[in-house]
Amino acid sequence: MNARLRLLLFLIALAPAGAGAQAVSKHEEFVPKGGKGPIVVVISGTTGLPYYWSYAQRVSELGYYTVLIDGKDILTREQDGAANLRAVITTAQASAHGMRRKAMLIGFSQGGGGILAHGAAMDDVVVAAVAYYPATSWARNPVGLAARIRVPLLILAGAADRYNNCCLVESIRQIEAAARELDRPLELVVYPNADHGFNLDRYRGNYRHEDAEDAWRRTTQMLAKHQPLH
């Protein structure tokens, strides 16, 4: 079966199941070399999928069945983002390429905000999550948000991030402080000189190789600990 047909079948499987349901509008799968692996769902920022293809491919090359989806379908006022995320995970679990166990989530900016809003509470289908510079401008109650965290969560943020004031480290620190007080499994790593998209080379001026590689190392450690290949 070629890649285009696999993607078409994946799209069909995610079609709305009933009245009011929403389908994830954009997604792409990356099949590991062995043909099957544990599931990792990568959730893009607002810029869309192309900025995250190389990252999703890199995750797949580790041996994971990686599904890349659009963060606009997860952190959204127009759709049921939680239902959309759950549908993606369920479909991936039913795929011939995905192992039938919980998924790992990796989200960026808007996608990272989707993890905070929905994925971090889905301990029935999510094993752990990593959020790069997550959007928090929508969050008005850091304590309530922290209280919903039920899976190990690593947040990687840039201290110099002022992109649209969406992902300010000050807000993220408030969530981290609340999580610590509530004994929730959140770890925060702040890169002092990093801006938004510090690990994405398409951002050009914002890319910081050393910080990007440290973030990747920490992400792979999370994968190895919570989503082992075997």
For the chain, what are the domain ranges? 29-226
Architecture of domain 29-226: 3-Layer(aba) Sandwich (3.40)
The angle at the Cα of 55, spanning 51 to 56, to the nearest 5 degrees, equals 100
Cα–Cα distance, 127 to 117 (Å, whole number): 16
Per-residue pLDDT of 132-151, as tens digits, reads: 999 999 999 999 999 999 99
Per-residue pLDDT of 20-76, as tens digits, reads: 345 576 789 999 999 999 999 999 999 989 999 999 999 999 999 999 999 999 999
Per-residue pLDDT of 99-127, as tens digits, reads: 999 999 999 999 999 999 999 999 999 99
- The torsion region of residue 76 among left (phi > 0), alpha (psi -120 to 50) and beta comes to beta
Two structure tokens written together for 83: 């239902």
Cα–Cα distance, 78 to 64 (Å, whole number): 31
